[in-house]
Structure 1
Amino acid sequence: MRLKVLLPFRVFADQTDVSRIVAETHDGSFGLLPRRRDCVAALVPGILTYQSDADGEVFVAIDEGLLTKIGNEVWVVVRRATRGTNLEQLREAVQRDYLTLDDIQQSAREATRKLESNFVNRFARFKNE
């Protein structure tokens, strides 16, 4: 298989001899082998693992994103990625960097929901007056 890991402004990885990929989704981890059916999956922050003939087993810490498999091509589109050999350090990077940002984003979304709710309530009261 050919694996491309794409970031917003550059190609992070382009590997042509990939024999296995393991990724994490909201429903848990799943694996891809070359003859698996085509699929699309929403990825959560975690560790993407792939096996290549040239590099062996490679670990990549990724932010949330999207995985698409079409034929022999697998594209992973994420906001951030970090390659490493020490799995424990990559796990810590995911916990520290990627999941913290999600907490900030969730707080911002909650504040936006409250503003929208207040606006709708005030608009409904104004319409009824």
Structure 2
Amino acid sequence: MSMHLKILLPFGLFADVEAVLRIVVMTTDGSLGLLPRRLDCAAALAPGIVEYQTEAGGVVYAALDEGVMIKTGSDVFISVRRAIAGADLDHLHALVAREFLAQSSEQQSARDALAKLESGFLSRFSELHHE
């Protein structure tokens, strides 16, 4: 028994792999391993490395941005914003740390700045309303 893995990006299909024996993904709660007979599940993915092994015997690694994973029957769907494939695990780990996690912190900074602007706007609006 095996699984069918699809890694989806906003603009297309990154990977469509048949005969997958096992998958390991990084969720927001930690590492999660999937085998063909595992119950159906869904998980929020953190930026990290996905590892999967095919029946042909090869282990494949890919760097993934945050997203979601859904396992239903023998189908596993991973939907992420960005993905990078590679055989060198150290190189992929460095890419995740440099690109994906750095962008996440920049996005958090932008959200914080927007929240401050909105808060300031609401304060000023409230002051004008009471005058």
Aligned to 2:13: 11
Structure 2, unmatched stretches of 5+, are none
TM-score, normalised via structure 1 length = 0.95
What SS does the corresponding residue of 2:63 show, helix, strand or coil?
A: strand
Aligned to 1:122: 124
Query: Per-residue deviation at 1:54?
Result: 2.5
RMSD: 1.1
Structure 1, unmatched stretches of 5+, are none
Identity between Structure 1 and Structure 2 (%): 53
Aligned to 1:72: 74
C-alpha distance in structure 2 between counterparts of 1:128 and 1:31, whole Å: 57
Aligned structure 1 segments of 4 or more residues deviating by more than 6 angstroms = none
Aligned to 1:92: 94
Number of residues of Structure 1 aligned to a counterpart in Structure 2: 129
C-alpha distance after superposition, 1:4-57 (max 9, x if no partner): 001111211101101111001121101111111111111111000011112511
What SS does the corresponding residue of 1:113 show, helix, strand or coil?
A: helix
C-alpha distance in structure 2 between counterparts of 1:121 and 1:71, whole Å: 52
TM-score, normalised via structure 2 length = 0.93
Query: Per-residue deviation at 1:127?
Result: 2.3
Aligned to 1:104: 106
